[in-house]
Amino acid sequence: MSYNLRLLISCPDRRGIIAAISSFISLHDGNILSADQFVSRSGRFFMRLEVEGNGFGLSREEFSGAFTPVARRHDMDWRVSYTDAPKKMAVLVSGYDHCLIDLLWRWESGDFEAEFPLVISNHDRLRSRVESYGVPYHHLPVLEGEKEGQERKVIELLAEHDIDLVVLARYMQILSPDFVAAYPEKIVNIHHSFLPAFVGADPYRRAHERGVKMIGATAHYVTDELDAGQIIHQDVAHVTHRHSIEDLVRLGGEVERRVLARAVRWHLEDRVLVDGARTVVFE
C-alpha cells in the first residue's frame, strides 16, 4: 500500500534550514512531493513537507532517531505523520445538526482522511441521523450540578477511542481548562460570527441589532479564553436591512458548514501550524 510522510516544522529562521532538510531526505533516498514554507514577521520559519513513503530509506521507528540531530541543530519543533494512519476524529454537538450532518456526509463521501469512531451529545435528538451513517452516538446529558462529571465521562470516551481531533460542531458547552489542556491545538470549534466580533452567545441577534452588512463564521482552536483561540479559517455572507434574524441564522448556517469543513480537512491533512496567537495554514 502506498503512503506518504508529512513533516511539519517550526523553528527560528536562519540560513541553511531548507538545505539541511532537503539533504536529510535525499540522504535517505526520499522523493519530495510537495514543500511549503513561510517566515513570519517575528522571524520564525514554518514548513510542511510531503515525502513519498515507498522507497524512503527510514522506517517509522527509525525516523525520529535519525532526524533528531537535524532538529536539535536548528532548534526545531517538529512532528511527522503518515497518510496510511488517518487521524481519529470525534464530534461533540448539542441541538443544532447542520454542521454535524455536513461533516458526516463529507466523511462518508471520502472528503476527510479520518476515522470517525463516535459522536457525543448532551441531547439525544440526533441519534438516529448519526447512526444512519454507522457512527456510534453517545448521549451524555449535562444535568444541574453534574457538569464536571459529564465532562469527565466525555474525556474518558475520547481517551478510550484514542481520539486525535475533537470537533465542536455547535457544542453549546464551555470546556474546562483541564479538558482543553488534554487536547492542545486538537480541539476545533465553529463560532457563528466573524471573530473577534460578537464573541459569546447569540451573535446573530446581536449582529441584527447592530445592523451589520456582513455576517460570518470562524473556525478556531479552543483555548481557555472563550472564542479567542487561533483562527484557522473564516468566511462571510453579505446581508442587508431586509434580512431578519431568521434569515441571518439560515445564511450563517451555510457559512458555518463550509468554514468548519475546510478547517477540519486542513487539520487532518497537517496543513495548520500555530504561531503564537495566529496560525500558518498551507492550503
Catalytic sites, residue numbers? 227
Task: Find where cell 457544542 sits.
Answer: 171
Measured between alpha carbons, how far is 89 from 91 in angstroms, rounded to an integer?
7
